[in-house]
């Protein structure tokens, strides 16, 4: 059975998962890339080294964000959201990094790597802390 997720179900997926995909279109091409993230009910927070993803989101800040929960090929849930990329600095960047660290630390498989490859315990602000302010959400599911 295919169906549409209710808003509460979409929020639950966004809160539960830690890996999502950002889709952005800029410079004449579309780019979809996975990120680790934290969701606070309104925004998706992430961190990245400077590179193609950041350059494209700076050029075209309206992005798409997608998260899956897959039990098997006949039982899955997918949440899609559209929003606007914003770079964070100062206290906002520090707060975003703290959110990421506290959410991702229990899932880190190495004692030496934190968000975006920065050693655990360091601020990691050499890259870019950002949020995506979500404006619209949609979700689908399939269940046996």
Q: Indicate the pLDDT class of residue 75, thresholds 50, 70 and 90.
A: very high
Please state the rounded mean pLDDT for residues 59-64.
Answer: 98
Spatial CA neighbour of 37 closest among 85, 73, 90, 76? 85
Check if the beta carbon of residue 143 is closer than 8 Å to that of residue 75. yes
- CB burial class (10 A; 0-12, 13-18, 19+) of residue 143? exposed
CA distances from 142 to 15, 59, 70, 82, 90 (A): 20, 35, 10, 22, 42
This prediction has a pTM of 0.85
Q: Is the pLDDT of residue 52 over 90?
A: yes
More confident residue, 109 or 45: 45
pLDDT of 113: 52
Please state the rounded mean pLDDT for residues 96-112.
Answer: 79
Domain boundaries, the chain: 2-142
Average pLDDT of the residues of the chain: 89
Nearest 5 degrees, angle CA 16-CA 40-CA 30?
Answer: 80
Nearest 5 degrees, angle CA 108-CA 7-CA 88?
Answer: 50
Q: Is the pLDDT of residue 5 over 50?
A: yes
Question: What does the alpha-carbon distance between residue 134 and residue 39 come to, in Å, rounded to a whole number?
Answer: 10
Whether domain 2-142 has CATH 1.10.150.130: no
Please state the rounded mean pLDDT for residues 35-64.
Answer: 96
Check if the beta carbon of residue 4 is closer than 8 Å to that of residue 33. no
Question: What does the alpha-carbon distance between residue 13 and residue 124 come to, in Å, rounded to a whole number?
Answer: 27
């Amino acid at each position: 059975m295919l169906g549409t997720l209710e808003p509460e179900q979409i929020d639950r997926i966004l809160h539960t998962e830690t890996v999502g995909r950002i889709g952005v279109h800029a410079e004449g091409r579309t780019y979809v890339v996975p990120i680790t993230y934290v969701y606070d009910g309104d925004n998706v927070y992430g961190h990245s080294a400077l590179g193609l993803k950041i350059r494209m989101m700076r050029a075209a800040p309206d992005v798409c964000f997608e998260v899956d929960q897959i039990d098997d090929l006949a039982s899955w849930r997918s949440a899609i959201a559209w929003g606007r990329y914003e770079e964070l600095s100062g206290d906002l960047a520090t707060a975003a990094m703290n959110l990421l660290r506290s959410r991702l630390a229990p899932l880190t498989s190495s004692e030496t790597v934190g968000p975006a490859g920065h050693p655990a315990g360091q601020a990691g602000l050499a890259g870019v802390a950002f949020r995506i302010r979500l404006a619209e959400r949609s979700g689908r599911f399939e269940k046996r």
